[in-house]
Amino acid sequence: GAGVSQSPSNKVTEKGKDVELRCDPISGHTALYWYRQRLGQGLEFLIYFQGNSAPDKSGLPSDRFSAERTGESVSTLTIQRTQQEDSAVYLCASSWTNSPLHFGNGTRLTVT
């Protein structure tokens, strides 16, 4: 079956522009996560959606970052007024409740 799909796979943007990253989770998965991975580093938690509960936004690094999820489907991560330090791979994952995560291949964001 289809896995987690992320788009675009690569995004180059100019400093100060807004970007929107998309994640299509595995159908039926109730949980959805966004992580950030800087070059050669581990994964940094950003935000967690679980069903219809309020999302856990505790990992968002600044108010320039926001994310939405419609029901148990698509999620978008928006970064406003991008900065060079936002350059990273943004990984989305989905899962059943309290189950292992299934990751997409990520969006590589480069801010010039």
Partner 1 sequence: SQQGEEDPQALSIQEGENATMNCSYKTSINNLQWYRQNSGRGLVHLILIRSNEREKHSGRLRVTLDTSKKSSSLLITASRAADTASYFCATDAGGSYIPTFGRGTSLIVHP
Positions that interact with partner 1 (CB under 8 A): 4, 31, 33, 35, 41-43, 45, 48, 50, 56, 91, 93, 97-98, 100-106
Question: By C-beta, is 74 or 101 nearer to partner 1?
Answer: 101
Q: To the nearest whole angstrom, how small is the minimum distance from the Cβ of residue 27 to partner 1?
A: 18
Nearest to 110 by CA among 5, 6, 4, 17: 17
Residue 49: exposure state from Cβ atoms within 10 A (0-12, 13-18, ≥19): buried
Question: By C-beta, is 71 or 100 nearer to partner 1?
Answer: 100
Q: To the nearest whole angstrom, how small is the minimum distance from the Cβ of residue 51 to partner 1?
A: 12
SS3 (DSSP) at 100: coil
Q: Which helix (H) or strand (E) holds 98?
A: none
Question: By C-beta, is 84 or 98 nearer to partner 1?
Answer: 98
